[in-house]
Structure 1
């Protein structure tokens, strides 16, 4: 990896030293992204490949897949100070409390060593009622991590899970080099905003990151806020992505968007699984149904924001008497039936009821702040339970089943 002295204008440095080194952001430094896009500012990580992005039908998924949940900048260095220049795109919702700035976390040899936020950046203002959006341009900023331990070490900078982030430059006080694959299993996961990390405080605190750390796996997180909708292009992206372990957590978005009826749901699940199996015929594949969500258990969508409460909350407004429409109870029953039938011919297919990760007792102790998304403490619990189930003794992701 070629590095060069910093000799171009940029965001203010933390010291006046002249021996800082600027390393161009290179795809080899990225983990957890399926694609990168060269922009006027630098490199934009994507969690869906270009072919899939051309087929995205709405702005919600376009925004979600460009938010780098689970994506990290990885390198080896002796540096004791690291700076990452970025252009963030932040979100704002009229009538709703401000969205906190995205968090950057630095791990040195796997240990949490630094945390930063970046001011400035673009601001995308989104109308929750119409989903229309207007973007106001803003300036780049810098995530700074001083005072790192001396000596050679592997650095991971986890990018904000909920903030589109264009990577401009990496600046250090010692040379950096790309890190070879450490031999850990690659876990490819797809899910909704809960898998994306909604309401978690930092990128390593989202439940897939928690589970991956406990399970010793490298996660590729295809959790897309509002967009786990059995889209064929997502299935094809998973089919074509190298992975040792695969999981899909589906259901909540299909209920809260009121996207399809029961008649279409079963064939769509079969088609999604068939496509994944085209590329991964014997890879352990775990299907996870929704965690407990009382507002959608027996009431179909659509889900709408409730602005009559001090904090943003959501409620389902569908007709519970219409049994052709999807509720979480119906979805769990169908997923259990479909996976049981397929498992008779597919011994590497497994099923997990999401209420084993977060159920009634958890809702009483750690309620969903907006009635849909878990908070940081609940993310931790979900991640721990998933790791115990999937990576624990005899679990679907253990050596016995791989």
Structure 2
């Protein structure tokens, strides 16, 4: 057997570089920026008012002073009216400050108060003196022209996209989301809505993986279920038109392990035993055309664990993410449980009162699929530990 770390290292060393594409801002949320985005101009672009009020000469704006209103400046106006001694201009928030003004007096600091007028009054009287340069947002105060608005590698959320728009860009370079095919194998599989006969089970792996692929930042291109038939599987793998393929089932040493029979030795694909419970049988490699292929066990818990430990980091690397692994921390065990001394135990777990415990009383069996619904973490128990006692420190990988 090889270690979990060795298998993951081989996968990450083989993953192709992410692909860069150009997209509109409105369709880039959740993607990773592929290059620094610099501001095309200063932000703000010009000196503008931070308040609804009056642009004035600070020297004229003493308490009790009456000023004549000579202009009205709405947001978006290109006007730059002259303001002489004893004069003011009504101005709205965001409007360009006249070159002659050096302070803004808010509406509420004049005899107008917060009264709303369609037209500017003829005069105003100051009731509170402004500070010099009060409420003027200077050009370039937020960022000078040419400064980096959002750096490469940033995951684009609403705030980042707003910053890029403010920097003067509508289309940006981002890493493409890898397109993924999911193939579940097994003659025992039927659709979830069917009534299974003896020997049959509902097919859940493609549902699990489709959701997991999407959550990882990739896209599910297609899914299919294939019986334990070499020719049927080979046909499903022809011209997949995807960036990665995930198969479940048929990766061990059974007489009907179709995935191993069809793919072992194709390109760089090879099958191995990983010192991990569940999820010991694993396969990985690139097809002759360079498509990464992940061959996972068939039991749902093994699929879930294998995806988190091996596939998710690879897909996130393909999607351009810098943080490819789940956050980990160390917490005490809330109860004791048994582990395998010859391989890492990766157990679906729950965090209760800042302690970790198994998500099910049945241990870490790969068939205990119902435990996945309650699990919020994976407990990672090293290969040299056969017993976890209450109070022992355990590394957990937080899933949600």
TM-score between the two structures when normalised by the length of structure 1: 0.20
Going by fraction, where is helix more abundant, 1 or 2?
Answer: 1
